[in-house]
Structure 1
């Protein structure tokens, strides 16, 4: 039962931090350079511009066939792909496995095939999905087998574990991460490099930040008043904001308003709440009768890193088995259920579980496993806005909607 009232609880007092300063400090100690950008695709575009500038300094003609080739995981949203595409990179998708780790055999096979194409210096994007697919070993293997490769690591899903990936021994040449995916800020992302960036980002106000600032303000109003018209409007603003981005072609620095919001932040509370929510929800979902049948969980992320360091979870994904759901359905609607239809059913009960991620057709063709994840995965929010009672509600709604099919 959700408790309202009763005795106060004792809350720990914590030291509030300047998040951008903390990230800058950790990067500096690791001997790395950091820039704060508007969004994740701007961060990737910013890095891509730096790579092209360095290629030109090394005498590589970016227009030469095969000179700009990006190897990307097939399970990648368009914001990870488009910054390379709009700059003229040839895109090669490699496979991921069922545990979301990189299919090294497929990646190295495709790298080998690319060696005969012009001034081949591959750009390889890797990612630790949801903190369950560590990239340290594959980064080491890439460096050993293809020393000329430029490695970019997308650390969005492990963003608050900066001391784990921003180290002196980290292998990737670049790291990028989206801050705005974790917090209520209008914009925010970062790009990190082993060397000082050659290129600069644009400054000034943008429609993206202005629209998102207005939308986030209106959402606060909606949570206070519950007016559905406000909800429709702020969702339209968010959509317009995304449409205003130029696919990372013109990277902008993070806005002053986001920098100000991030300057006084309770990182301890955020991490602590996320870890607790993740553990509680994972346990609740694993105990549902249809777990392992109608849906499956990814391996639980390790609570401890290298014997002491705790991960801060991003989201908690599930993978639906739509075929099972249809076979076992007792209603006509259930026999025709789709992943998107089930997502809408949850949303009607107040549980929002976004699709991660719709992938492009070429990526789906390159990897059947990625296509399966793209067609069947949903992810639950477990962030600092919520608590144990909210996690119980998520599990209850999921179980109820599955039983109604």
Structure 2
């Protein structure tokens, strides 16, 4: 690949990061109660809400409610781009999972989904209910049209919407009565809390969740505490240990088979947070990173950007608070253009590790089931080539510039 002059690259489009000088005007902090906001909005939308331990517990909780209210229901349709935590809660309850296609922009392939339902369920007969899980991936794959079409075409459908990626805008879905029958979302993916998720229903939940201390919450609490210590003193042994704890915590979950309520420590934390700063910082980071990635010489070649989150009406603000910013690598192009032996054998996972060695952690999203990969070429491509950058409230414009500098540098070294 083209080797870019490092000093020229460093200066091009780079804004100086200041330490010191005059103070800037900061907006006053307004503390909010996340639990109350969601509970109040759910009540105003005539919905019922339960706060649970994690996303897979929320999905399992909803699955239990669906089964209890619809004794014959055994089919659920899920996007091919779904990780285990979205699939297992249905499978462990004996439900039959059928994957459906997504487009190359992450939107649901509507015609393919409807054809798949016709094929599996035998038309629009009301004799057998079934469920469809939909998701607005990264806030760029709106589900409004799909939801409306499903309800009109299949009277016996139950829609579950995973709103994890648009979690900061509950008013966008909680007041729409016919959009979905259930909503699930993972809170802990947005904040530094040991656990937290929610399940929302248009009707009262039949069953309750378990209560009490769990290994999952205890292990994550210890891990997050140790990570804070690591960030303060840089002890590499602490880093190794808290990563082991986080892995143990995930392994302790029972695929959502035994849903637990959210812990009191997480509920207390969520009762007093600065939601405005979280949203404001994420929007600024996303905007800055997106624009700088667009300017990289190898954008559109070594990697592509997905569509930007749409703006809200005629305003300049994003419709949704960004969750992460994904890119899709073109590994074949990277190999063809490589000037080093290492580069000619590069893989997505190998490139992710190269970024991690320089302090840029871009999660691999997501390993998917073989059945999902087989039925959907786009989902397979995303699963094998996508990385996502953190743009959350922990970081600043300087950090976004650092991501771009390191990404560009690593691509030029191939």
TM (norm. structure 2) is 0.94
Provide the rounded CA distance (Å) in 2 between the counterparts of 1:150 and 1:351: 40
The question of whether the paired residues in 2 share the 8 Å contact of 1:19 and 1:265 is answered with yes
Provide the rounded CA distance (Å) in 2 between the counterparts of 1:105 and 1:310: 26
Runs of 5+ consecutive residues of structure 2 not aligned to the other structure:
1-15
Shift of 1:147: 1.0
Q: Deviations over 1:18-54 (max 9, x none)?
A: 1011011111111111100000000000000000000
Aligned to 1:110: 116
Equivalent positions of 1:299-318 (< 5 A) are: 299-305=307-313, 310-318=319-327
Provide the rounded CA distance (Å) in 2 between the counterparts of 1:83 and 1:367: 22
**What secondary structure is seen at the aligned counterpart in 1 of 2:231?**
helix
2:369 to 350, 360, 366: 360
1:141 to 149, 154, 159: 149
Q: Deviations over 1:44-76 (max 9, x none)?
A: 0000000000013xxx3xxxxxx4011000000
**What secondary structure is seen at the aligned counterpart in 2 of 1:264?**
coil
Shift of 1:4: 2.5
Runs of 4+ in structure 1 over 3 Å off: 116-119, 305-310
Tell me, yes or no, if structure 1 residue 320 matches structure 2 residue 361: no
CA RMSD of aligned residues (A): 1.4
Provide the rounded CA distance (Å) in 2 between the counterparts of 1:380 and 1:275: 13
**What secondary structure is seen at the aligned counterpart in 2 of 1:44?**
helix
Aligned to 1:211: 219
Tell me, yes or no, if structure 1 residue 128 matches structure 2 residue 136: yes
Aligned to 2:101: 95
Aligned to 2:348: 339
Aligned to 2:391: 382
Provide the rounded CA distance (Å) in 2 between the counterparts of 1:116 and 1:168: 29
Shift of 1:177: 0.3
Aligned length: 396
Tell me, yes or no, if structure 1 residue 6 matches structure 2 residue 13: no
Tell me, yes or no, if structure 1 residue 169 matches structure 2 residue 177: yes
Q: Deviations over 1:273-317 (max 9, x none)?
A: 000000000000000000000000000102325867742000000
Aligned to 1:64: none
TM (norm. structure 1) is 0.96
Provide the rounded CA distance (Å) in 1 between the counterparts of 2:286 and 2:398: 12
Aligned to 1:29: 44
Aligned to 1:157: 165
Equivalent positions of 1:199-348 (< 5 A) are: 199-305=207-313, 310-348=319-357
Equivalent positions of 1:16-95 (< 5 A) are: 16-56=31-71, 60=72, 67-95=73-101
